[in-house]
Amino acid sequence: MDTIESVIVAKKELPTNFVKTGWGLTVAGLILVGVSYATDVHRAAFNNVIGFAFLTSVAVGALFFVALEYIAGAVWSTPFRRVTEFLAALLPVTILLAVPLFMNMHDLFHWTHADVVAADEILKHKEPYLNTQFFMIRFAVVLGAWILFYYLFSRNSLKQDADKDQKHTRTNIKLAAVFIPFFAISCDHVSCRFSE
């Protein structure tokens, strides 16, 4: 039976055409986003919420999967781990998608209107939690922590590629033990809270 110590996986680079196509599609997407904001800011802001929630869910879900693999000692998944790490690399990109959210909060979120909150008994009770300042702080802390976990997992993984030392796997197992409960608590605060 294979153990963590006996598995050696060769690193392979992505084909050049694949990388070029990916960058081309990214640039085209950014141009289309710019056009959408130029033509209808309100509609583009709502579409941005969907895009942000989707990409954040994919990225943090991939990061959760990486952590789960470490906790479970899943040796079988080692060759595929780079795919999930690559998907988790979307987390820093989601910061760019969050900027339009903060710039359009008054249009996007019902609870940012003081007159609406004053007239709604339920929103009054939610006001200590649902207010612009606390929302932005909570958002920054949670997304920043997810990005930090991503950085630590991938840094240790790349170090292990270089030196083949299993201490990096043990470090990632400890990180995963911290990340999984944090993820369970924090998931609701960033990618899932836009329906309020």
The string of pLDDT tens digits covering residues 18-71 is 889 999 998 998 899 889 989 998 888 888 888 888 999 999 999 999 999 999
The domain limits of the chain are 15-190
pLDDT confidence band for 141 (50 / 70 / 90):
very high
Task: Taking residues 119-141, report their average pLDDT.
Answer: 88
Per-residue model confidence (pLDDT) at position 39:
93
For residues 132 and 64, give the distance between their C-alpha atoms in angstroms, rounded to a whole number: 28
Angle at 22 between CA 49 and CA 172, to 5 degrees: 75
- Look at residue 120 and tell me whether its pLDDT is greater than 90: no
Whether the Cβ atoms of residue 108 and residue 101 lie closer than 8 Å to each other: yes
Residue pair 196/131 in contact (Cβ under 8 Å)? The answer is: no
Q: Quick one: how far is CA 55 from the chain centroid?
A: 7
pLDDT in the model for residue 193: 53
**Count of CB atoms situated within 10 Å of the CB of 32:** 10
Amino acid identity at 187: C
CB-count exposure of residue 91 (10 Å: 0-12, 13-18, 19+): buried
Q: Is the pTM of this model over 0.85?
A: no
Residue 17, sorted as left (phi over 0), alpha (psi -120 to 50) or beta, turns out to be: alpha
In the prediction, which pLDDT does 9 show? 59
How many CA atoms lie less than 13 Å away from 152 in the CB half-sphere? 17
Look up tokens 């710039």; give the residue: 103
Tell me the mean pLDDT in the region 2-24: 73
Phi, psi of 29 (to 5 degrees): -65, -40
Q: State the pLDDT at residue 64.
A: 94
Token readout for 53 is 């929630």
The answer to whether 57 and 190 have CB atoms below 8 angstroms apart is no
pLDDT mean across residues, the chain:
85
The pLDDT assigned to 195 comes to: 45
| Confidence tier at 11 by pLDDT (50, 70, 90) | low
d(CA 160, CA 174): 15
Angle between helices 132-163 and 167-190 (to 10 degrees): 160
In this prediction, residue 146 carries a pLDDT of: 94
Task: Quote the pLDDT of residue 113.
Answer: 87
